[in-house]
């Protein structure tokens, strides 16, 4: 493998023809490792929500980190822009090839080995193309637990989770990817491999380089391996659905639950009535879980890896919630099947939204204590701007993370709808800024959120980010135009 230091100036500026790229990739990966027939591109151009931008120049499907490194070194030498691709669930246009510039898609789908599991160190070392669910299953077989849990876990990959610093349902208890990664292996933009695959729980030797690549959305390097932190497998868990009169009551109930559940709370999800109805629409087998409808619900879970009476703990929470007037009804699942049915609401409501067609998806975050005021102001102002829009605001209350999504009125032409959603998004992000929140708590910036993101950056923040990009990828070949703009051409 060659690195930047081995190349001559001529090699560094040598453009390349399609046939040469094709030949290089076929020699390295074999014919099944290269896709250059546009008829087979669809799988690599469309994301989970059905968005498509452009076609790739070609798709490379390496099986080893060394192959990734050779491809990247070649691209560096010949100025080929690259984009790393995982399970297509990022939804901000980060992994999909650009429509205006030719990009080589590097799909990690065949780099999918579990390398090593250490049940005493509570760690697992994996290739970055492993599907999240596969890693969770492998951990469980060893009586361990990998806690990252999200709707796309059957298709998203560890490399995508690392690169978007994914969170999910259990952040409250276990943290986001940043807290779950012990070590990383990354192919740098010049083709060298940074090997940081240490399974250490503590390491204060110098800068923590792995953190640079977590959440970098593939703009600083391609993640090829990760050492992940495991936990003991929970032996008991209990789920409940609770009905609350309003968002403020949900927050007060949350503070009660944090105090009543001995740090065993793993999920605390806000589900408004509109979302429950969308879920029942998408999944006709679902029944209204409580007798009377309520404006908002909470789906919560507590879990323990030892003998703890979770039923008593949650029943006590019910009592305290009723006394405090923040809870009007609730059901505690009495079996695993009942618990699965409750959590099915969470999955079906996403399906219900997707069935409603193009809409504004956001993943904003606020200080938890500001959620009521934010929700009130955002709802009032969005409804004033567009009275027929339907707001569905749900999310991970314990992380201050709201999906404040907006369904446009039906019957709009595509252009009119896009303009309206853009206007509503701009307005919503202004309100987020007024509350000192973040415009992305989950999916990242990609291309879709870049303009709004740049507006939130101070000069020092922008200079540091641009400096890091220039240091690691001076030719802007890795995921160009994502997070930061391309240099002016
Ligand atoms: C139904 C659904 C539910 C979700 N729920 C949550 C949630 O609860 N919490 C949350 O945080 N997120 C959530 N997400 C979004 C989440 O970011 C992604 O599901 C996941 O982390 C992305 O992984 P992926 O493999 O699909 O990546 P992709 O979509 O393929 O890529 C995402 C970004 O990472 C880059 N990338 C991918 N692989 C690599 C690699 N190996 N090296 C370098 N860069 C790479 C891509 O270039 C792109 O910029 C959800 C998404 C969906 C569709």
Compute, in angstroms, the gap from residue 160 CA to the centroid of ligand 1: 4
Q: Are 406 and 390 in contact (CB under 8 A)?
A: yes
Q: How many CB atoms lie within 10 A of CB 464?
A: 12
CA angle 51, 94, 175 (to 5 degrees): 110
167 touches ligand 1 (CB under 6 Å): yes
Atom 21 in ligand 1: residue holding the nearest Cα: 161
Label the pairing between strands 401-407 and 364-365.
antiparallel
> What is the structure's pLDDT at 10?
44
Cα–Cα distances in angstroms (integers) from residue 476 to residues 9, 83, 98, 219, 251, in the given order: 17, 11, 14, 8, 44
DSSP 444: -
* pLDDT tens for each residue of the chain, 489 residues long: 333 444 444 444 557 889 999 999 999 999 999 999 999 999 999 888 887 878 999 999 999 999 999 999 999 999 999 999 999 999 898 999 988 889 999 999 999 999 999 999 999 999 999 999 999 999 999 999 999 999 899 999 999 999 999 998 899 999 999 999 999 999 999 999 999 999 999 999 999 999 999 999 999 999 999 999 999 999 999 999 999 999 999 999 999 999 988 789 999 999 999 999 999 999 998 989 999 999 999 999 999 998 899 999 999 999 999 999 999 999 999 999 999 999 999 999 989 998 888 899 999 999 999 999 999 999 999 999 999 999 999 999 989 999 999 999 988 999 999 999 999 999 999 999 999 999 999 999 999 999 999 999 999 999 999 999 999 999 999 999 999 998 875
Does this model's pTM top 0.75? My answer is: yes
The pair of structure tokens assigned to 267 is 């999920």
310-324 and 247-260 helices cross at what angle (nearest 10)? 140
108 touches ligand 1 (CB under 6 Å): yes
Compute, in angstroms, the gap from residue 130 CA to the centroid of ligand 1: 13
> What is the structure's pLDDT at 8?
47
Alpha-carbon Rg of the chain, whole angstroms? 23
Compute the residue count for the chain.
Answer: 489
CA neighbor of 470 nearest in space, from 189, 209, 145 = 189
156 touches ligand 1 (CB under 6 Å): yes
If one residue of 86, 184, 215, 350 were mutated to test the ligand 1 pocket, choosing by the most ligand atoms within 8 A of its CB, it would be 86
481 touches ligand 1 (CB under 6 Å): no
Angstrom distance (rounded) from CA 147 to CA 149: 6
The pair of structure tokens assigned to 351 is 């399906």
Q: How many CB atoms lie within 10 A of CB 251?
A: 21
Angstrom distance (rounded) from CA 206 to CA 267: 35
Compute, in angstroms, the gap from residue 85 CA to the centroid of ligand 1: 9
Angstrom distance (rounded) from CA 268 to CA 169: 8
CA 131, 213, 170, 48 torsion-angle sign: negative
CA angle 23, 28, 32 (to 5 degrees): 85
Angstrom distance (rounded) from CA 105 to CA 25: 12
> What is the structure's pLDDT at 356?
87
Strand partners of residue 120: none
Q: Are 123 and 198 in contact (CB under 8 A)?
A: no
CA 321, 260, 346, 389 torsion-angle sign: positive
Cα maximum dimension of the chain = 76
Compute, in angstroms, the gap from residue 164 CA to the centroid of ligand 1: 6
H/E run at residue 284:
none
């Amino acid at each position: 493998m060659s690195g930047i230091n081995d190349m001559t100036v001529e090699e560094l500026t040598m453009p390349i023809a399609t046939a040469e790229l094709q030949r290089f990739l076929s020699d390295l990966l074999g014919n099944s490792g290269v896709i250059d027939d546009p008829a087979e591109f669809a799988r690599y151009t469309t994301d989970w929500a059905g968005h498509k931008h452009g076609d790739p120049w070609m798709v490379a499907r390496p099986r080893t980190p060394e192959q990734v490194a050779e491809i990247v070194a070649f691209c560096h030498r010949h100025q080929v822009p690259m984009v790393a691709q995982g399970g297509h669930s990022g939804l901000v246009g980060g992994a999909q090839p650009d429509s205006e510039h030719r990009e080589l898609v590097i799909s990690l789908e065949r780099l999918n080995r579990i390398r090593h599991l250490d049940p005493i160190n509570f760690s697992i070392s994996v290739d970055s193309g492993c599907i999240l669910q596969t890693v969770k299953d492998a951990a469980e077989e060893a009586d361990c637990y990998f806690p990252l849990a999200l709707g796309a876990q059957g298709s998203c990959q560890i490399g995508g989770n690392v690169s978007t610093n994914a969170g999910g349902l259990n952040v409250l208890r276990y943290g986001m990817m940043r807290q779950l990664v012990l070590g990383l292996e990354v192919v740098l933009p010049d083709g060298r491999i940074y090997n940081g695959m240490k399974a250490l729980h503590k390491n204060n030797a110098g800068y923590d380089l792995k953190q640079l690549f977590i959440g970098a959305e593939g703009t600083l390097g391609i993640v090829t391996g990760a050492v992940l932190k495991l936990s003991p497998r929970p032996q008991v868990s209990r789920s409940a659905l609770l009905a609350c009169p309003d968002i403020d009551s949900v927050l007060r109930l949350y503070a009660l639950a944090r105090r009543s559940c001995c740090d065993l709370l793993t999920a605390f999800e806000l589900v408004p009535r509109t979302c429950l109805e969308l879920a029942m629409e998408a999944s006709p087998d679902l029944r209204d879980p409580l007798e009377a409808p309520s404006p908002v619900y909470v789906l919560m879970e507590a879990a323990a890896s030892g003998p703890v009476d979770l039923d008593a703990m949650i029943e006590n929470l019910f009592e305290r919630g009723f006394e405090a007037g923040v809870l009007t009804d609730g059901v505690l699942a009495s079996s695993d099947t009942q618990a699965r049915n409750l959590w099915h609401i969470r999955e079906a409501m996403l399906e219900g939204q997707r069935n409603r067609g193009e809409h504004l998806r956001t993943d904003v975050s606020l200080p938890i204590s500001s959620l009521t005021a934010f929700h009130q102001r955002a709802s009032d102002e969005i409804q004033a701007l567009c009275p027929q829009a339907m707001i569905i605001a749900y999310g991970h209350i314990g992380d201050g993370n709201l999906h404040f999504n907006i369904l446009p009125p039906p019957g709009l032409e595509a252009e009119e709808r896009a303009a309206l959603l853009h206007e509503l998004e701009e307005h919503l992000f202004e309100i987020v800024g007024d509350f000192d929140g973040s415009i992305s708590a989950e999916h990242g910036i990609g291309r879709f959120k870049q303009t709004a993101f740049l507006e939130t950056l101070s000069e020092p923040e922008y200079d540091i980010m641009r400096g890091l990009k220039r240091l690691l990828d001076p030719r802007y070949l890795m995921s160009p135009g994502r997070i930061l703009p391309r240099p002016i051409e």
